[in-house]
Amino acid sequence: MIIKSKVITHPVAEPITVSDMKDILKIDHTSEDSYISRLITRARRIAENYCGLSFLTQTREINLDSFPCGSIILPHGPVQSVSSFTYIDTDEIQQTLTVSTDFRIDIDSDICRVEAIDTWPTANDQINAVTIQYLAGFTNVLQDQLPEEAVEMTSRLVARMYEKRGDENAPLLTDDIMQIGDLIKVYWNANV
């Protein structure tokens, strides 16, 4: 089964400020501040996707058609906590599962896994019968927990997008940028 994680609530901050990015780009005016801010957000999202990580605190969600035989992988960690875990039962009623009673979560490993305490209940035979929302990311405000590579990759992507704007054929993820991301990239198998 393929597990795709979507962002429900985006981070309230970015890994690099507009001011710091302007210093890197050697820009001393304010006329492009909003453009640079948009580039930072776009670059972070590209870098997060490449690395398979959530750099800053955000709410993510996965949907499954049924419970697996084993554990469930929560991609794009690090996972901080599970906010809600629901499923539609065979009577088509939404049920809520509770941590420590119905399931346990491994947030200490690089790849977060959720497993049943006993066995998974039976979900209704329908699309998106199981939904897990979770909080993921290194941090929001205290940038000290965020790996330096995340900040470096984001800033290099911003610089590349700024310098190559208008050139639709210019690749964004160049070898030097990917090499930085490879230092923190999480490899997980989406086909569980």
For each of the chain's 192 residues, which pLDDT tens digit applies? 567 899 999 999 999 999 999 999 999 999 999 999 999 999 999 999 999 999 999 999 999 999 999 999 999 999 999 999 999 999 999 999 999 999 999 988 878 999 999 999 999 999 999 999 999 999 755 555 889 999 999 999 999 999 998 888 888 899 999 999 999 998 865 544
- pTM, two decimals, is 0.89
Check residue 188 and give its pLDDT: 65
CA gap 30, 154 in Å, rounded? 21
Sheet of 72-74: strands edge to edge? 72-74, 112-116, 103-106
Listed in sequence order, the residues at least 6 apart from 123 whose beta carbon sits closer than 8 Å to its beta carbon are 65, 66, 67, 87, 88, 89, 90, 129, 130
Confidence at residue 144, expressed as pLDDT on a 0 to 100 scale: 59
Can you give the pLDDT at residue 2? 61
